[in-house]
Amino acid sequence: MQKVYARVIIDISHEKVDRPFCYKIPCHLLEQVKIGDCVEVPFGKGNILRKGYVIELMETPDFDPDLIKEIESVKTGIQVENKLIKLAYWIREEYGSTMIQALQTVLPVKQKVKQKENRILLRKCTKEEAALQAEFCEKKHQPAKARLLKALVENEEIPYPLLTGKLHISASTINSLKKAGLVEEINELAYRNPLKEQEMVKERKILSPSQQRIVDSIWSEYENNVRKTYLIHGITGSGKTEVYMALIEKVVSQGKAVIMLIPEIALTFQTVMRFQRRFGERVSILNSTLSLGEKYDQCERAKKGEIDIIIGPRSALFTPFENIGLILIDEEHENTYKSESMPKYHAREVAEELARLHGAAVVLGSATPSMESYYKAMTGEYGFFTLKERLTGGTLPKVYIEDLREELKKGNRSIFSDRLQELIQDRLNKKEQIMLFLNRRGYSGFISCRSCGYVMKCPHCDVSLSKHANGKLVCHYCGYEQPAVTNCPKCNSKYMLGFKAGTEKIEEEFCKRFGEVSILRMDRDTTKTKDSYEEILSDFMEEKAQVLIGTQMIVKGHDFPKVTLVGILAADLSLGVGDYRAGERTFQLLTQAAGRAGRGELPGEVVIQSYQPEHYSIQKAAAQDYESFYQEELMYRRLGGYPPVSDMLMVQIFEKEEQKGILLGNKMKEHLKEYAMKNRMLIIGPANASVGKINDVYRSCLILKHKDKNILKRAKTCLEQFLSTCGIEGKIVQFDFNPMNSF
Ligand code: ADP
Ligand code: ZN
Ligand code: ZN
How remote is the CA of residue 125 from the centroid of ligand 1, in Å?
Answer: 28
For residue 488, which ligand has an atom nearest its CA? 2
The least confident of 70-74, 254-258, 344-348, 539-543 is 539-543
pLDDT classification of 16: cutoffs 50, 70, 90: very low
How remote is the CA of residue 262 from the centroid of ligand 2, in Å?
Answer: 48
Determine whether the shortest distance from the Cβ of 207 to ligand 1 is under 6 A.
yes
**The pLDDT of residue 58 is above 80:** yes
User: Which amino acid belongs to residue 169?
Assistant: I
Average pLDDT, the chain: 84
Q: pLDDT value at position 15?
A: 46
How remote is the CA of residue 205 from the centroid of ligand 1, in Å?
Answer: 8
184-243 pLDDT, tens digit each: 887 654 333 333 444 555 567 899 999 999 999 999 999 999 999 999 999 888 899 999
The protein residues having their C-beta less than 5 angstroms from ligand 3 (an ion) are 458, 460-461, 475, 477-478, 480
Q: pLDDT value at position 190?
A: 38
Q: pLDDT value at position 499?
A: 59
Q: How far apart are CA 69 and CA 8, in angstroms?
A: 11
For residue 495, which ligand has an atom nearest its CA? 2
Report the atom number in ligand 1 closest to the C-alpha of 206.
Answer: 23
Determine whether the shortest distance from the Cβ of 205 to ligand 1 is under 6 A.
yes
Q: Tell me whether strands 48-58 and 38-43 are parallel, antiparallel or unpaired.
A: antiparallel
Residues 133-150, buried b or exposed e (16+ Cβ, 10 A)?
Answer: bbeebbeeebbbbbbbbb
Determine whether the shortest distance from the Cβ of 208 to ligand 1 is under 6 A.
yes
Looking at ligand 1, which residue's alpha carbon is closest to its atom 19? 239
Looking at ligand 1, which residue's alpha carbon is closest to its atom 18? 239
Question: Are the C-beta atoms of residues 568 and 549 closer than 8 Å to each other?
Answer: no
**The pLDDT of residue 48 is above 60:** yes
Superfamily (CATH) of domain 209-387: P-loop containing nucleotide triphosphate hydrolases (3.40.50.300)
Question: Are the C-beta atoms of residues 568 and 437 closer than 8 Å to each other?
Answer: yes
655-683 pLDDT, tens digit each: 999 889 999 999 999 999 999 999 999 99
Determine whether the shortest distance from the Cβ of 236 to ligand 1 is under 6 A.
yes
Q: How far apart are CA 265 and CA 558, in angstroms?
A: 9
How remote is the CA of residue 448 from the centroid of ligand 2, in Å?
Answer: 8
**The pLDDT of residue 14 is above 50:** no
Q: How far apart are CA 600 and CA 644, in angstroms?
A: 37
Number of neighbouring beta carbons within 10 Å of residue 194: 6
Q: pLDDT value at position 13?
A: 46
Q: How far apart are CA 268 and CA 535, in angstroms?
A: 12
Determine whether the shortest distance from the Cβ of 697 to ligand 1 is under 6 A.
no
Q: pLDDT value at position 195?
A: 38
Q: How far apart are CA 169 and CA 698, in angstroms?
A: 45
Q: pLDDT value at position 592?
A: 85
Q: pLDDT value at position 371?
A: 97
Phi and psi, residue 436, nearest 5°:
-115, 125
In eight-state DSSP terms, residue 2 is: -
How remote is the CA of residue 70 from the centroid of ligand 1, in Å?
Answer: 59
Q: pLDDT value at position 165?
A: 65
**Domain coordinates in residue numbering, the chain:** 5-106, 117-189, 209-387, 398-441+502-638, 443-501, 647-737
**Does domain 398-441+502-638 sit in CATH 3.40.50.300?**
yes
- Range among 436-450, 497-511, 523-537, 626-640 rated most confident: 626-640
Hey, which of 231, 242, 385 would you mutate to test ligand 1's pocket, going by the most ligand atoms within 8 Å of its Cβ? 242
Looking at ligand 1, which residue's alpha carbon is closest to its atom 25? 205
**The pLDDT of residue 651 is above 90:** yes
Determine whether the shortest distance from the Cβ of 268 to ligand 1 is under 6 A.
no
**Fold for domain 5-106?**
GIY-YIG endonuclease (3.40.1440)
Q: pLDDT value at position 441?
A: 52
Hey, which of 233, 241, 267, 328 would you mutate to test ligand 1's pocket, going by the most ligand atoms within 8 Å of its Cβ? 241
How remote is the CA of residue 242 from the centroid of ligand 1, in Å?
Answer: 6
Handedness of CA 200, 201, 203, 208 (dihedral sign): positive
How remote is the CA of residue 490 from the centroid of ligand 3, in Å?
Answer: 20
117-172 pLDDT, tens digit each: 567 788 888 888 888 888 888 888 787 888 888 888 888 878 777 776 667 777 78
Hey, which of 368, 391, 592, 596 would you mutate to test ligand 1's pocket, going by the most ligand atoms within 8 Å of its Cβ? 391
365-380 pLDDT, tens digit each: 999 999 999 999 999 9
Q: pLDDT value at position 89?
A: 83
Looking at ligand 1, which residue's alpha carbon is closest to its atom 20? 239
Percent of the chain residues topping a pLDDT of 70: 89
pLDDT classification of 578: cutoffs 50, 70, 90: low
- The answer to whether domain 209-387 and domain 398-441+502-638 are alike in fold is yes
Q: In angstroms, what CA-CA distances link 535 with 15, 165, 330?
A: 44, 10, 24
Q: pLDDT value at position 461?
A: 82
For residue 487, which ligand has an atom nearest its CA? 2
User: Which one has a higher pLDDT value, 734 or 104?
Assistant: 734
Determine whether the shortest distance from the Cβ of 240 to ligand 1 is under 6 A.
yes
Report the atom number in ligand 1 closest to the C-alpha of 208.
Answer: 23
**The pLDDT of residue 280 is above 60:** yes
Report the atom number in ligand 1 closest to the C-alpha of 238.
Answer: 3
Q: In angstroms, what CA-CA distances link 393 with 1, 236, 376, 593?
A: 67, 11, 31, 18
Report the atom number in ligand 1 closest to the C-alpha of 245.
Answer: 6
Determine whether the shortest distance from the Cβ of 242 to ligand 1 is under 6 A.
yes
Q: pLDDT value at position 317?
A: 94
Residues 6+ away with beta carbon under 8 Å from 525: 442, 443, 468, 469, 501, 504
Q: pLDDT value at position 509?
A: 86
pLDDT classification of 409: cutoffs 50, 70, 90: confident
**The pLDDT of residue 182 is above 90:** no
Q: pLDDT value at position 603?
A: 81
Report the atom number in ligand 1 closest to the C-alpha of 367.
Answer: 3
Question: Are the C-beta atoms of residues 362 and 351 closer than 8 Å to each other?
Answer: yes
Determine whether the shortest distance from the Cβ of 264 to ligand 1 is under 6 A.
no
**The pLDDT of residue 175 is above 70:** yes
CA angle 323, 328, 333 (to 5 degrees): 145
411-462 pLDDT, tens digit each: 887 889 999 999 999 999 999 999 998 866 544 566 777 777 788 888 888 7
Q: pLDDT value at position 116?
A: 53
Per DSSP (E only), the strands in 188-298 are 229-234, 257-261, 283-285
Question: Are the C-beta atoms of residues 7 and 33 closer than 8 Å to each other?
Answer: no
Percent of the chain residues topping a pLDDT of 90: 35
How remote is the CA of residue 502 from the centroid of ligand 3, in Å?
Answer: 19
User: Which one has a higher pLDDT value, 552 or 87?
Assistant: 87
Number of neighbouring beta carbons within 10 Å of residue 354: 24
How remote is the CA of residue 236 from the centroid of ligand 1, in Å?
Answer: 9
Hey, which of 236, 392, 556 would you mutate to test ligand 1's pocket, going by the most ligand atoms within 8 Å of its Cβ? 392
Region 702-729 average pLDDT? 91
CATH class label, 647-737: alpha beta
Region 347-365 average pLDDT? 96
pLDDT classification of 105: cutoffs 50, 70, 90: confident
Number of neighbouring beta carbons within 10 Å of residue 330: 21
Report the atom number in ligand 1 closest to the C-alpha of 236.
Answer: 4
Q: Tell me whether strands 361-366 and 229-234 are parallel, antiparallel or unpaired.
A: parallel
For residue 212, which ligand has an atom nearest its CA? 1
**The pLDDT of residue 110 is above 80:** no
How remote is the CA of residue 560 from the centroid of ligand 1, in Å?
Answer: 16
**The pLDDT of residue 356 is above 90:** yes
Residues 84-108, buried b or exposed e (16+ Cβ, 10 A)?
Answer: bbbbbbbbbebbbbbbbbbbbbbbb
